Amino acid sequence: MNNINQALLEAVERYNKLDEEFYQARQDLADLLKQASENQQVTNLARLTKINRTTIYWLMRTWSRSENGSSGNNSIKG
């Protein structure tokens, strides 16, 4: 295997690992936001996290593992 193919495969491996970590982090964040929203207003969470309210609602609805018993996004990852 030539050097460029080896470098390409290593880059793909790193990309896939980071993509999986990002996916997990997004689910963790969504779960924590959902849990926090049970006792705090989303507006206050938006101020605290500097994440706008619409994005917070989207994260909770789309990525929270506790939402409707789902395990994250039901569509294609990304």
Query: Looking at beta carbons, which pairs linking 12-20 to residues 24 or more positions away fall under 8 Å?
Result: 19/77
33 close to 56: Cβ distance less than 8 angstroms: yes
Q: How confident is the model at residue 1 (pLDDT cuts 50, 70, 90)?
A: confident
Summarised one tens digit per residue, pLDDT across range 13-57 is 999 999 999 999 999 999 999 999 999 999 999 999 999 999 999
Q: Is 63 exposed, middle or buried (0-12, 13-18, 19+ CB in 10 A)?
A: buried
What global pTM score does this model have?
Answer: 0.77
Summarised one tens digit per residue, pLDDT across range 53-78 is 999 999 999 999 984 544 455 443 33
